[in-house]
Amino acid sequence: MKFKSTHVAFIAVAASVLLQACGGGGDGGEPANELDLSEFVGTWQAIEELSCEPDDTFWAPGKYWTVVAQDRLIFAQARLESRQTFYTDAQCQNKAGVITGVFDKPEFARHTISGRSNVIRASFKLTAFNVSADGGSGLQIDAIPDLNDPENQVKTLFDVENDQLFVGDDSALDANGYPLRIDAEPAYRRVP
């Protein structure tokens, strides 16, 4: 599964619950069970212009449209879930359906970046997905993800400041595949 390069999500909607510690830090990072992850818990709405764009993911390239700014990311109990809504028209008025991705057992570790506080390093892998009409006309996808494909492994950084979630800038990666810095602009804002 290819993720949009500007954000680390395939985007999410799920019930907000307490994020539980789930996995080691590795590489000298502090294990998640010793981290304070409370500021990351919640529902996050993508910050982007509200525009209807052709979907370029592998599900059904060129067949559907999506509004990226409607995407959401949710930190949930011992996993991340993502949700992306697809439309049959270029105005994003006629809903086709929803694809939800499940990323079980994310691993978190503290990470240090100058000028930032409480940055976490996150690693997660797509482990399941669900395609549904969700009140729309229905989706017909051309391909499904290979859950064993390394492309489905995501490594990024997260930081929260003023109810905005910043993600890793994937233009430069360290030897372990994590971004070297955080994007200067926030990717998501907290949804009350």
Give the tens place of pLDDT for each residue, 6-21.
Answer: 233 332 222 222 233 3
| Domain range for 64 | 32-186
pTM above 0.85, yes or no: no
pLDDT digits (tens, 9 = 90+) for 61-112: 777 887 765 566 666 556 777 778 889 988 889 999 988 888 877 888 899 9
The answer to the question of residue 14 being in a domain is: no
Tell me, rounded to whole angstroms, the distance of Cα 36 from its chain centroid: 20
82: enclosing H helix or E strand: strand 79-87
Backbone angles phi, psi at 119, to 5 degrees: -75, 135
C-alpha–C-alpha distance, residues 167 and 188, integer Å: 9
The answer to the question of residue 177 being in a domain is: yes
Q: Which residue's entry shows tokens 């990470």?
A: 111
The answer to the question of residue 172 being in a domain is: yes
pLDDT recorded at residue 184: 92
Token pair listed for 16: 């907000």
Domains of the chain: total: 1
The answer to the question of residue 73 being in a domain is: yes
The answer to the question of residue 46 being in a domain is: yes
By 3-state DSSP, what share of the chain in percent is helix, strand and coil, each rounded to 5?
5, 40, 50
> What's the Rg (C-alpha) of the chain?
16
The answer to the question of residue 65 being in a domain is: yes
pLDDT digits (tens, 9 = 90+) for 18-59: 233 333 334 444 444 467 778 888 888 778 766 788 887 766
Tell me, rounded to whole angstroms, the distance of Cα 10 from its chain centroid: 5
User: What is the CB neighbour count within 10 angstroms for residue 127?
Assistant: 13
The answer to the question of residue 21 being in a domain is: no
CA angle 182, 186, 191 (to 5 degrees): 130
